[in-house]
Amino acid sequence: MKDGFIKVAAATPDIRVADVAFNTEQICRMIDETEKKGAKIVVFPELCITGYTCGDLFTQDILLEKAREGLFKVAGHTKDKDMLVFVGAPLTVDGELYNVAAALNRGKILGFTTKTFLPNYGEFYERRQFCEGPSYARDISLNGEEIPFGPQLVYEVEELEGLAVSAEICEDVWSAVPPSIQAAREGATIIVNCSASDETIGKASYRESLIEGQSARLICGYIYANAGEGESTTDLVFGGHNMIAENGITLASAKRFENGIIYSEIDYKRMVSERRKNTTFQSAEDRELTWIPFRLHKEETKLTRTFSSRPFVPGEAFERARRCEEILMIQAMGLKKRLAHTHAKSAVVGISGGLDSTLALLVTAKAFDMLGMDRKQIIAVTMPCFGTTDRTYRNACKMAEKLGAVLREVPIADSVTLHLKDIGHDIQDHSVTYENAQARERTQVIMDIANQVNGMVIGTGDMSELALGWATYNGDHMSMYGVNASVPKTLVRHLVHYYADTCEDQVLKEVLYDVLDTPVSPELLPPKDGKIAQKTEDLVGPYELHDFFLYYFLRFGYEPAKIYRIAKYAFAGEYDDDTIYKWLHTFCRRFFSQQFKRSCLPDGPKVGTVALSPRGDWRMPSDACADLWIQNLETVRENKE
């Protein structure tokens, strides 16, 4: 459970209807199998001790007595196992029959969660045999033990803060007010569901959206175990459609019509963090449900779930294209409103032939089209200086021409040289002063041009640069509206690629493809043999790594050691452990030290769940200390040694 990851399983055993001995044997066999895989929470289907489709056989004492015996046998089978197991069973209490999910741990039955909503429509007729569960939990005496019985029991490991599990049964989650709502409000971070949901056309996709939606709404992990082959096919077919979801995302899903086990790891600490940030998640003021302690050994969970190495970029081509179109529209709509509100007659974009300024120019053209403004009112300014290469210069000029903007060239080498002389800086000293003087001169040029043409300077810097502080303060850091401010570098690349793929101008398409092939560089140092001498990623690290760090640091509040751990999985085969560690250390240091640049950012539209606006998503003091985060990361190396 290190870092909050706990391995869980949803299991559908082979069963025979009303053959308790066979079913019990199969359940125990699967418990053994899941133990070998390291699962700590295992969920079986509804009424799997007997089979869900027993019908009026549930009125037979012999079946119910054997079911009770079978349940205690399964409980005994968990005696030496470090896990919490949920098994569906019928249970008679005070002469009435209930549909329950029994929680088993270390040889004992911890509690019986009763089914709250009994379906009695369509193919379901549960009220014929079963009673609704009571409104409140109480203890019942069974085999000489007092066991909690009732709705919404919550099982917690006191030594593992945040790990709390509650159960509901099949129809409960389909109801208007699922019992899991109250359980989550009281602190349950994982919900399990023992289910017997039959297969009909279209039901699987609805079931998937239901489980994903419930896990998102409750900000929880959700383990759904469904009945499968072996149930009676007199009128119905069950497909064993098991699912494991976490906060709206399916982590694992079974292939239907094949009994078996699915596994994944739920990050329960992430659920706690998400709820803490989400002010509309209403936690209960007092505990009204029954909380039951159980024991699990704390250990490191081997991860099998996947972590996308490019979390800002959808992996599937269709979804990626849809996302790109939506982002371009958000950017353009934001700029459209700002241009209209300020009655700007033009827009000024400093273009370098690099990715960021290319995207800013594309967005500006889109905004002008939406406003019905002539693109000739877009002033694209190229400002060659000491580090400008022919390749980027040509691309910038061609791009402006093909987009219908007016190209202005303002060489700044002379003015920067004079400025450096005025402040007594040796022109051969290529330190940060030499570099930043160029960036600030370019900003002054486009700001003054904007004044000339009653226009607005459109910012080009992206979110990845802002996170690292890789921008010249009051240089490229400043604009009148920053259209790329919440777009990470890895996504900038895909946005430009999408525009190139979908534009009809072949020349523009080729220019954009060449921009994509150009190394990322501020071009502030003189070229070597006509080629770019200064590559950003050689200096601050690969942007795909930094975007990964940024996503998990801001979106989920992961500590650096945890980010390092999952980064090793995500980038296996791409970067070695030392490289990941090195650049994560750089990220932590720069993210804290460069906050002062983010504290005075220009306005710009938010496009995704992660943003750095000091007026919105990220309000951090500029002088916050990074020591805790750096030390947390360094423990990784200390433990290794």
Q: Where are the domains of the chain?
A: 2-293, 317-640
| Cβ neighbour number for residue 610 with a 10 Å cutoff | 22
Q: Rounded to an integer, what distance in angstroms lies between the CA atom of residue 253 and that of residue 261?
A: 10
Active-site option among 115, 269, 366, 597? 115
CATH architecture of 317-640: 3-Layer(aba) Sandwich (3.40)
Reply yes or no on whether the pLDDT at 640 is more than 70.
no
Q: What pLDDT shows up at residue 537?
A: 82
Nearest to 447 by CA among 485, 479, 415, 407: 479
Q: Is residue 46 annotated as a catalytic residue, yes or no?
A: yes
Amino acid code (one letter) for 121? Y
Q: Please name every residue paired with 244 in a beta bridge, in sequence order, or none if there are none.
A: 223, 252
Per-residue pLDDT of 248-290, as tens digits, reads 999 999 999 999 999 999 999 999 999 999 989 988 888 899 9
Reply yes or no on whether the pLDDT at 173 is more than 60.
yes
Task: Tell me the average pLDDT of the chain.
Answer: 95
Q: What is the mean pLDDT of residues 583-608?
A: 97
Q: Is residue 115 annotated as a catalytic residue, yes or no?
A: yes
Cβ 500 vs Cβ 512: under 8 Å:
yes
Cβ 151 vs Cβ 114: under 8 Å:
yes
Q: Looking up tokens 């030496």, which residue turns up?
A: 80
Cβ 164 vs Cβ 94: under 8 Å:
no
Q: What pLDDT shows up at residue 264?
A: 98
| Farthest CA pair distance, the chain | 100
Per-residue pLDDT of 409-442, as tens digits, reads 999 999 999 999 999 999 999 999 999 999 999 9
Active-site option among 35, 40, 46, 54? 46
Q: Please name every residue paired with 138 in a beta bridge, in sequence order, or none if there are none.
A: 149
Q: What pLDDT shows up at residue 538?
A: 82
Reply yes or no on whether the pLDDT at 641 is more than 70.
no
Q: What pLDDT shows up at residue 453?
A: 97
Q: How confident is the model at residue 154 (pLDDT cuts 50, 70, 90)?
A: very high
Q: How would you label 308-321 residue by residue, b for 16+ Cβ within 10 Å and e otherwise?
A: ebbbbbbeeeeebb
Cβ 346 vs Cβ 375: under 8 Å:
no
Q: How confident is the model at residue 528 (pLDDT cuts 50, 70, 90)?
A: confident
Q: What percent of the chain has pLDDT over 70?
A: 98
Q: Go through the chain and tell me how many residues it has.
A: 641
> Radius of gyration over alpha carbons of the chain, in Å?
30
Q: Rounded to an integer, what distance in angstroms lies between the CA atom of residue 446 and that of residue 456?
A: 9
SS3 state of residue 27: helix
Nearest to 59 by CA among 120, 125, 11: 125
Q: Rounded to an integer, what distance in angstroms lies between the CA atom of residue 124 and that of residue 446?
A: 71
Cβ 294 vs Cβ 105: under 8 Å:
yes
Q: What pLDDT shows up at residue 167?
A: 98
Measured at the alpha carbon of residue 186, what is the angle toward residues 181 and 190, in degrees to the nearest 5? Answer: 65
Q: What percent of the chain has pLDDT over 90?
A: 91
Q: Is residue 544 annotated as a catalytic residue, yes or no?
A: no
Q: How confident is the model at residue 159 (pLDDT cuts 50, 70, 90)?
A: confident
Q: What is the DSSP string of 90-147?
A: EEEETTEEEEEEEEEETTEEEEEEEPS----STT--GGGT-PPPPSS-EEEEETTEEE
Main-chain dihedrals φ then ψ at residue 238, nearest 5 degrees: -110, 135
Per-residue pLDDT of 389-418, as tens digits, reads 889 899 999 999 999 999 999 999 999 999
Q: What is the mean pLDDT of residues 613-635?
A: 95
Q: Rounded to an integer, what distance in angstroms lies between the CA atom of residue 103 and that of residue 101?
A: 6
Reply yes or no on whether the pLDDT at 458 is more than 70.
yes
Q: How would you label 200-223 residue by residue, b for 16+ Cβ within 10 Å and e otherwise?
A: eeeebeebbebbbebbeebbbbbb
Distance set, CA 305 to CA 244, 246, 545 (Å):
11, 11, 19
Domain 317-640 in the same topology as domain 2-293: no
SS3 state of residue 280: coil
Q: Looking up tokens 């055993």, which residue turns up?
A: 13
Helices 413-422, 432-452: axis angle to 10 degrees equals: 120
Main-chain dihedrals φ then ψ at residue 261, nearest 5 degrees: -130, 135
Reply yes or no on whether the pLDDT at 174 is more than 60.
yes
Per-residue pLDDT of 82-111, as tens digits, reads 999 999 999 999 999 999 999 999 999 999
| Pairing label, strands 243-246, 221-226 | antiparallel
Q: What is the mean pLDDT of residues 476-485?
A: 97
Classify domain 2-293 by CATH number.
3.60.110.10
Q: What pLDDT shows up at residue 539?
A: 87
Q: What pLDDT shows up at residue 521?
A: 73
Q: Which two tokens stand for residue 573?
A: 């085969």
Per-residue pLDDT of 350-380, as tens digits, reads 999 899 999 999 999 999 999 999 999 999 9
Q: What pLDDT shows up at residue 534?
A: 66
Active-site option among 48, 54, 170, 385? 170
Reply yes or no on whether the pLDDT at 524 is more than 80.
no
Nearest to 438 by CA among 389, 388, 489: 388
